Amino acid sequence: MHSCSNFFLLLTCLGVCESTSPQSIIRHDSKGSQKSIAVDAAGDLAYNAPQEGGFVETESRHDSGDTVGANLHGVSVDGTRANKSGYSTSTSFCYEKDSANFGNCWAQMPPASTPACTASSGTTTCKCADIMCDIDNLASSGSTGRCAVKKVYVADGQASSQNSEVGVTGTAETVFCENMVNNNQWAAQGCIATAADDSESYTKSRWWHLCKSGYTYRNWKCYRKTRFIQPKESCWDGWWSGKCKNSDTSYDEYSTSCYQGQCVPYAFAQQRAECSCAWVGYNFFVVCSASGGSCGGHACVWNTGDGKRYCDFATEQDWNSFR
């Protein structure tokens, strides 16, 4: 249930956390196309972007980490967050053409020989395979890696301002991680299915038979109500469960999300989909149930920058949309 106290806490954060108007980033690819997106375009509450250590560091209350097309090179935004578990992320950017203005940060870029990131890279600087910089070893060892401190070097990158908006153009980005967190306790957290959890689904023997305890009827089959990240099981929005194990926690190393129809570690849910409020369900104006199950049971949150709504995969997976 979503109490009034939680609702007023969210309203308070809207008034306090959003200290400045969001800025936009212009992303520029090698073919010359440009796109504009607000810093908090994934539903985040934006803060200032202070210069730190020769880099431009962008912070927000949540991750956005969104990308716009496979061929688009540019800047994506992560957030800095912390709670009692110590979960936090941060991303800093160095723009090649503006390097002199930021302590000659381009000269600090790690060499091409920097080893590729692994889940156990720790605080040894490593090179990320992509902007997400997540390591998925769930199938082989039941572990994952998430980068807590990223540095992104934007080739030909240059910042400009127009009408109080700050934009960045560039042709490519290279991402390094300075702190890879090794999450190897997923099994201990109960997030990996075992033989004791029974089968993921089964076909009913008769149409009038009810699903057995712990299962729910869906798509002509009976599915286990509790869903797991390994093997990657489907999940859904609805009153009849389909929840990912640990989706009721937020900003914890072992929080999970129902993302693109599958249970994944929350750190992997970095691209937030646009959503709309359901006709029937929870609706507190700034946060609501998503229509059509588009957020997998997570909340649909109003973005203060562009006026749109986006799925917030950090919220609990209980914002049923009454489809």
- What is the mean pLDDT of each successive set of 10 residues along the chain, which is 323 residues long? 38 28 30 26 31 43 30 31 66 92 93 97 97 96 97 91 72 96 97 94 88 91 96 86 91 95 94 90 91 91 90 90 52
Task: Give the torsion sign (CA, 234, 238, 240, 244).
Answer: positive
Ordered by start, the domain boundaries in the chain are 41-183
* Pairwise CA distance, residues 154 & 165, whole Å: 19
Rg, the chain, Cα only: 21
CB contact set of 58 (below 8 Å; sequence gap of 6+) = 39, 49, 77, 78, 91, 92, 93
Dihedral sign from CA coordinates of 88, 226, 275, 74: positive
DSSP state of 160: E
pLDDT tens, position by position, 262-320? 999 999 998 888 999 998 889 998 999 999 889 999 999 999 878 899 999 999 998 87
The separation between CA 292 and the C-alpha centre of its own chain, rounded to angstroms, equals 20
Q: What is the pLDDT of residues 172-182, one digit of tens each?
A: 999 999 999 99
Residues 6+ apart with CB under 8 A from 313: 257, 258, 259, 266, 269, 272, 295, 296, 298
The pTM for the full model equals 0.74
